[in-house]
A and B are shown apart, each in its own frame.
Chain A
Amino acid sequence: MKPTDTSNPGYFHKVVDCQFACPAHTDVPEYIRLIAQGRFSDAYIENRQSNVFPGILGRVCDRPCEPACRRGRVEERPVAICRLKRVAADHKDDIVARLPKGGPSNGKKVALIGAGCASLTVANDLRPLGYEVTIFEAHASMGGLMRSNIPQFRLPPKVLDEEIGYIVDMGVDVKLNHRIHSMRALLDEGFDAIFVGTGAPRGKDLEIPGRYDSENIHIGIDWLESVAFEHLQAIGKRVLIIGVGNTAMDCCRTSLRLGAKDVKVMARKPREYFKASAWELEDAEEENVEILINHSPKEFVIEDGKLVGMRFELLEYKTDDKGRIDRGTVVSEKVIPCDDVILAIGQDNAFPWIERDLGIEFNEWDCPVVDETTMMCSRDGVFFGGDSAFGPKNIIWAVAHGHEAAISIHKFCQGESLTDRLPVGMNLASQKMGMHEWSYSNNYDPSARRLMPHVDLKQRFKKLDIEVELGFTLQQTLQEVERCLNCDIQTVFAAELCIECDACLDICPVNCLTITENGDEADLRTRLAAPALNTEQALFVSAGLPQTKRVMVKDEDLCVHCGLCAERCPTGAWDMQKSKVLIPYAVEEAAGRRKKMAAGS
């Protein structure tokens, strides 16, 4: 293999698995260290810079970081990254003075449609640059899906209000109860750019016999919205939820709080195919929700005009040699009695309000064709983000889209090329403080993951808005932060200094280092100190070593970043250096432009 080019920011960025997996690239190890030092406000600001809604995401993020966490490979369970984010949000001081402020108008007007996380992120990034931002929201309150679809017992309204308030207070013109019915009309209003952040608002329906014969069959996301806006306060005693995604989990748990006593979630497939996050399934099952597998809905059973049950086909699946299941074979049928059914089988984008002759191209699934980098559609000046761009994802993806769209809108309004964007940068700084002293907590803490304390099962159903998760205690926080491996403290190798004494190889607790003859990657992977079977993780390969011309190879997969290789290195060939990924936002793009203009004049 060729020597690894660690000067390319991409290499060390990928080593920080959590940050790399996060669509918004939140600097997780950095904020966890700040929490460890009790610097909650600093941790909050570090978070907010990339993910904008630390308090909200610290409760309801889909956590792509956690399955990626290296700790989950070294032992069983990842660091409770999401829960720690909430610690920062819950315990911060008043940080209002540290927030970006709205700038004086630059004369450019931007319309944002929908007051959800994508639009709010765009507003957050553009207001400090002086853009006049108007948000159009169909409902009477802001937050989009975060308010209408996430139940209050998971995300208290006061957390939403606070973090949305930070953005509105930058001087955003918010037009509530203002549904946009025509893109053509909006285009005529003279905005310099339009951003569509309307989500995926249409819940999928289930067209089987009996569907329209009862009022007690609900579409999940619409039903959650009715509950959120208090149009609906009760449900029957026996409720069936069809589908087993995260919306289904919210529906079943909300039902319990509206008076349901017997709630069943009906899944077509076996458990390993469930779409819901593992922790949402756990939380629902803790509340005695029953999840039934291999039940395929056949018809609604209506007697005397009243929904009395639902007929299911029971399926059996065959697994092929690759571990995939077939479409299933019906083995029997069964009627399960119920009073209400909630359909939570997915959601779609819907743009009935965008006329199809405006130059906005739609694809075969009736979704707009959006550029994945610039977030602009086929009509100049119209941008999409969040679920409305590429279909249902989650909040953190919407935030990531919002940041990119804000850069594009800025460049578009300034007449710059949208594709000429600032590259991702990287700083590296040694963390050596003394002979055996590092600036970070380098010892491996074998503690198991802390468990989130919950409100007592009897208490929590009394009101709809009792937040179930209590947040980590101080003791739990102190233990959980030590579980972080500090993957951003990189092992940086200077081949020319190595004397091949083997000290680093011998001390490495996870056998990730080898000095050997070079070869191609597939061959090298078979010749390392320990099996290097995870090909998703890179091999670092040094230049030829001075004495024998062999190479130093590091399998990044399981490195616990303990720094012992650097401590045992007699020549300083290994050093522990903190990598800081520099993600450019709209404000950096604008600063770059100012610099260029100053240089030109």
Chain B
Amino acid sequence: MSYIAKPKVAHPSLPKNKLGLTARDYEGTVSTLCAGCGHDSVTAAIIQAVFQLNIEPHMLAKMSGIGCSSKTPAYFVSGAHGFNSVHGRMPSVTTGANAANRALTYIGVSGDGDSLSIGAGQFVHAIRRNLNMCYIIENNGVYGLTKGQFSASADVGSKPKKGEPNEMEPIDPVSVALALGATYVARSFSGDKEQLVPLIQGALTHKGFALVDVISPCVTFNDHEGSTKSYKHTRQFYHHVVDADFVPPAAEIKAAYEQGSSMPVELHDGSRIVLRKVDKAYDPTSRAAAFAYLRERVNAGEITTGLLYIDSLRKEMHEVMGNTSTPLCQLPLESLHPGAAELKKITARYR
């Protein structure tokens, strides 16, 4: 951590978004994580994504649980709503918040410990409900806040700083999400903002549950030789399979794409994600194919990244349940509150 806050002084020619804000206006307090933590890079990517999407700070809700990852919502968009919940309980708190006010954009930041161990049950049910949120897992394979014990995402054979290599099979959040029918499944790396920023933009815009699993090295406890979640290892075995370019609504697709390798997918608000397939045979709209591909690459020791699966048509939680489209806070009291007489009638039904 630093003793001084990041000075407010900024580059005089910083670009402004449609709201007249610069990326600096989307910052939070200065990080208290270890210097060099991947999570800080993810924070910077979130700032870029939210800035470029022209999201009004007060229309964003930052949700988290416990852990190094879950501290990070303090480090971006100070003007947003936030809820730092109990360990592993971020998904249900977000479900409640989203149920009450569906007009906000929800971004949950969790870690491999928070989501794959104590919060595993919560994580899978949020997927099952297709909760409309961007769910980021800052995945470093260790419990950094408690001095670096292996977490549930540690790979077999990965060496700790001290002690014996991990022997247990890892839980891969991407495979879990695919198996459960998540509608936007991506993986990226904190050290590759060019790939990560558009993936977060897509996840924030996607209607439904959007998972972005980010390999985010723990510079203190898991960045050594023999670690499979270090900067060096990730860069060595990193494989882009489908990159995504985010194109806002009404904007023209300007980049030149090679025939057969690009695939635009339209999102509910008119924005598009152009998928750039590095492997032309890969079909990111086929769950079965994505699942098979992923397992095969894992066996080859490769870290598959990109937007691995997308289904932009499935209904999200509110649509399935037929909820009102108005956030509860905007409904008049009489609509929200049936009155004492009506309440008596309802309770009478259960006598």
Contact = CB atoms under 8 A, between A and B. Distances in A.
Interface of A: 73-75, 436-437, 442-444, 446, 499-503, 505-507, 509-512, 530-531, 533, 547-548, 558, 560, 562, 564, 567-571
Interface stretch (B38-46, B49-57, B133-141): B38-46
A510 B191 contact: no
A503 B43 CA distance: 11
A499 B217 CA distance: 11
B161 to A, nearest CB: 14
Nearest to B6: A509
Contacts, number: 100
Nearest to B216: A501
Closest 9 CB pairs of A and B: A570-B36, A444-B7, A506-B44, A530-B11, A501-B36, A436-B3, A502-B41, A443-B4, A509-B7
Contacts of B13: 530-531, 533
Contact of B190 (A502, A509, A530, A570): A502
B112 interface: no
B232 A547 contact: yes
A443 B191 contact: no
Contact of B44 (A502, A558, A562): A502
B4 A564 contact: yes
Interface in B1-51: 1-4, 6-14, 24, 30, 34-38, 40-41, 43-44
A395 B135 CA distance: 66
B236 to A, nearest CB: 8
B11 A511 contact: yes
A145 to B, nearest CB: 39
Nearest to A73: B12
Given A502-B41, A503-B40, A570 B219 contact: yes
A173 B190 CA distance: 72
Nearest to B217: A501
B35 A442 contact: no
Contacts of B219: 499, 501, 570
B14 A530 contact: yes
Interface in B215-274: 217, 219-220, 223, 231-232, 235
B210 to A, nearest CB: 23
Nearest to A75: B9
Given A500-B191, A562-B4, A506 B41 contact: yes
Given A74-B12, A530-B14, 5 more contacts: A436-B2, A509-B6, A530-B11, A560-B7, A568-B35
A530 B1 CA distance: 25
Contacts of B2: 436, 507, 564, 567-568
Interface in B72-127: none
B7 A436 contact: no
Contacts of A499: 36, 219, 223, 231-232
Interface string B187-212: 00011010000000000000000000
B36 A569 contact: yes
A503 B35 contact: yes
Nearest to B41: A502
A73 B12 CA distance: 8
A60 to B, nearest CB: 32
Contacts of B11: 510-512, 530-531, 558
Given A501-B219, A567-B2, A571-B36, A548 B10 contact: no
A265 B345 CA distance: 93
